[in-house]
Amino acid sequence: MSSGAVAARTRVAKPNGWWGMLLFVATEATLFGTIFGTYYYLRFTNAHWPPRGVPEPSATVPLVLAFVVAATSVPMWMASRAARGGALVVARRALMLALVVQAGFFAMQVSLISDDLDKFKPQGSAYGSIYFTMLGAHEAHVALGLLLDVWLLGKLARGLTNYRIVATQSIAFYWYFVNLLALLVVGAQLSARI
């Protein structure tokens, strides 16, 4: 392990990279705040939600998927902790496990969205617009997270440095946010059934 990595392990204050990720997550939280606000505003101002002719969203599969992807916060946390502790192999394995599950979630979600597009269109109603905007925005964030995972695995293949430890912590933090969003998105989705 490099001297930079040792410095990162003994650091007390949060590194700049982590603060940068926090600011990025804050801006994305604002974006999703407006999306959720719009969804619930439309939901409470329309007598029929979803509108007539649009099927109610299915409950079981999206709910299970959301909890499965939320569970990847655990291996991401393990990867972050292991990297900070200098356990490179553990960090790589935990990250790989998370990547596999997250990629499966992404593939399933794309398939579900594709099925929904066969039933109703974004341009067909306010419900369709906000439904696909919400799901599409979340999937875009999942896709970005997958790219970050792959990039990080590539970096960790060549050992630990201070930079890579901070990257692991920051990407884990990003995934906590994306996983929380998955639960909020499925909650909004399923609220249409109430």
Partner 1 sequence: MRRWRPKLSAEFLQWYGLGGAALVWAAQHVLGYGTTVARCGAGGVRFGIDLHTWELATFATALAFVVAAEAAAVLTVARTWGVEHDGPPPEGRRHFFALAAVVGNLLFLVIILLSGLSTISFDPCGQA
- Contact by Cβ (8 Å): 76, 176: yes
Least distance to partner 1, CB of residue 33, Å:
9
**Among 22, 179, 3, residue whose Cα is nearest residue 101:** 179
Closest CB to partner 1 among residues 10, 45: 45
Judged on CB neighbours under 10 Å (0-12, 13-18, 19+), 48 is exposed
Closest CB to partner 1 among residues 13, 157: 13
Closest CB to partner 1 among residues 45, 123: 45
- Characterize 95-109 residue by residue with b for buried, 16 or more Cβ atoms within 10 angstroms of its Cβ, and e for exposed: bebbbeebeebbebb
Q: Which residues bind partner 1 (CB under 8 A)?
A: 37, 40-41, 43-49
Least distance to partner 1, CB of residue 39, Å:
12
Structure tokens at 142: 């999942």
Least distance to partner 1, CB of residue 194, Å:
8
**Is the Cα dihedral 141, 15, 176, 126 positive or negative?**
negative
- Contact by Cβ (8 Å): 98, 117: no
- Contact by Cβ (8 Å): 142, 105: yes
Closest CB to partner 1 among residues 68, 190: 190
Least distance to partner 1, CB of residue 40, Å:
7
Least distance to partner 1, CB of residue 18, Å:
18
Q: What span, in angstroms and rounded, lies between the C-alpha atoms of 194 and 189?
A: 10
Closest CB to partner 1 among residues 33, 159: 33
